[in-house]
Amino acid sequence: MSSFFLTSTKAKRKGGKPQAHEKPAKRKRPTPQKKREVVNEELDEESGLSSAEDDQLDVAVDESDDETPQDKRVRLAKQYLDKLEERERERDDDPDHDAIAHRLHEDVLEQSGRLQRKVADQYERPDTASVRFLRGHDLSVTCVALTPDDRFIFSGAKDSAIYKYDVESGRKVGCIPSDRHGQASDPKGHRGHVFALAVSSSGKYLVSGGQDTHVMVWNVADCKLVKIFKGHKKAVSGLAFRNNTHQLFSASFDRSVKVWNLDEMAYIETLYGHQDEIMAIDSLNRERAFTAGGSDKSVRLWKIPEESQLIFHGHTASIDCCKMINEQYGVAGSQDGGVSLWNFLKKKPVFTARAAHKVPESEDSMSSEHPWISAVSAYQNSDLVVSAGSMDGCIKFWKCAQHFMKMQEIFSVPVTGVVNSLAFSSSGDFLVAGVGQEHRLGRWWSVKKAKNRVAIIPLPKKESSKPDR
């Protein structure tokens, strides 16, 4: 508002109108010190610098009081880029490598869904003795999830409990107990098997789902209940966050996919299409979801903004697990014993590893020639994929070779029991597996010598390997 319409404070005190000789009151312009504080606050939020680096930048600002706000923005931005480049060069043996250009190039490829880092050849088979096991569950572990900083592991099981483990120490640091005997109107935990877990990219929320049809939202920090979503009619079988958002996708045995917004703690919409129970779901950067449709023998890519879905066929039995590699490729496992690699631009799998996991000769508890594929996972935006057979007692590591037209086994790690869930750490330094005596969805067989626990499998790199360029 123009100062022409402002009333002087003197006139207000007297209760009358301003005199003709009195000048209207003017707004006070902010002092340079306040401007400087605003500029620093905005840049600190965007830069993500440490507190020590912030103090250095503040000193630099104080020493240059004659700079305009725009000059300060430019100078601080340059300092931030210099520090970022210095950090990248510390991780790289080549001092001439343009770290900033490399990082920006990878970001562009990742957002477009075309980032394919070639890392599989860098890894070597870990020593079996180096595998760590975390105990706590009474029944088979059905699902695992990692926090984005790789500090904590969450596990869910058939005993209805959810445990939080510290990765470094291996100790149990949190617990969401079963609520089997609680009041149905006011649940404090799950009242049946827990089938799915997911942690948001922000590291703020943990979500869980299972037999009781509820999607429960928890605080990662203290494992306190935040919200319960009661939309599904049957068991919740899969959960996935869209990267860098609080948009949540849930899959269920009721053949539907539901979309939720955890910023508003609200239901958004329901997606239909599968002809049978949905077994698994995954999502990455785009507003899309990748699902395995169980006995309808299809996997589907849901395009939410376009309100459409792409349908893919290629297996002869139920497809029980799936994972996105990037926005263009995905991997799935079936009860026919095959692990398939999918290009979302093609209707059929580009490659299928038949009989990926063979039944040991000593095992006769399954009538089929090859065991079910019970879990798959992928190191995001790379050429490294893992799979687990329900009865062969090992986790296999695969390389997506020949421009993602073929899968080659590179090594395997023995794990006694049924591996129901797999998750890579964001750093790629280790793999987490949920292991149990039984398959997560039933009790068709039991591996008596197995123990119900979480396995941490370190992933050592070859000495000659260098970061992919």
In this structure, the answer to whether residues 127 and 48 fall within a common structural domain is: no
| Alpha carbon distance 301, 310 (integer Å) | 5
Does the residue 307 lie in any domain? yes
DSSP code at position 127: P
Q: Which pLDDT score, from 0 to 100, does residue 72 have?
A: 75
Q: Which domain holds residue 40?
A: 31-90
What pLDDT was estimated at residue 77?
76
Residue 113, in any domain of the structure: no
pLDDT at 181 over 90: no
Q: Is residue 418 part of a domain?
A: yes
Nearest Cα to Cα of residue 144 among 456, 357, 415, 463:
456
3-state SS, one letter per residue, for 182-193: CCCCCCCCCCCC
Q: What is the pLDDT of residues 47-106, one digit of tens each?
A: 444 444 445 544 444 444 567 777 777 787 777 777 766 666 665 555 445 556 655 655
> Are residues 68 and 213 part of one domain?
no
Length of the chain, please?
Answer: 469
DSSP letter for each residue of 403-452: TTTEEEEEEEEE-SSEEEEEEE-TTSSEEEEEEESS-TT--S---TT---
User: Residue 103: its pLDDT value, please?
Assistant: 58
Same domain, 288 and 404: yes
pLDDT at 111: 60
Tally of domains within the chain: 2
Q: 143 and 80 share a domain?
A: no
Question: Regarding predicted confidence, which is higher, 368 or 380?
Answer: 380
The C-alpha atoms of residue 439 and residue 158 are separated, in whole angstroms, by: 10
Mean pLDDT taken over the chain:
83
pLDDT at 31 over 50: no
Helices (H) and strands (E) in the chain, counts: 5, 28
Say how far apart CA 109 and CA 130 lie, in whole Å.
35
The distance of Cα 414 from the centroid of its chain, to the nearest Å, equals: 26
Q: How confident is the model at residue 122 (pLDDT cuts 50, 70, 90)?
A: very high
Do 57 and 157 share a domain, yes or no? no
Residues 83, 141 share a domain: no
Q: Is residue 158 part of a domain?
A: yes
Q: What is the CATH number of the domain that holds 227?
A: 2.130.10.10
**Is 148 inside any structural domain?**
yes
The pLDDT of 272-299, averaged and rounded, is: 96
Domain shared by 193 and 80, yes or no: no
Last residue of one domain, picked from the residues 90, 105, 131 = 90
13 within a domain of the structure (yes/no)? no
Q: Is residue 24 situated within a structural domain?
A: no
Give CA–CA dist 37/318, Å, rounded: 60
Tell me if 98 is assigned to some domain.
no
Does 54 share its domain with 151? no
Does 316 share its domain with 405? Answer: yes
Which residues does residue 155 pair with via DSSP β-bridges, in sequence order? 144, 163
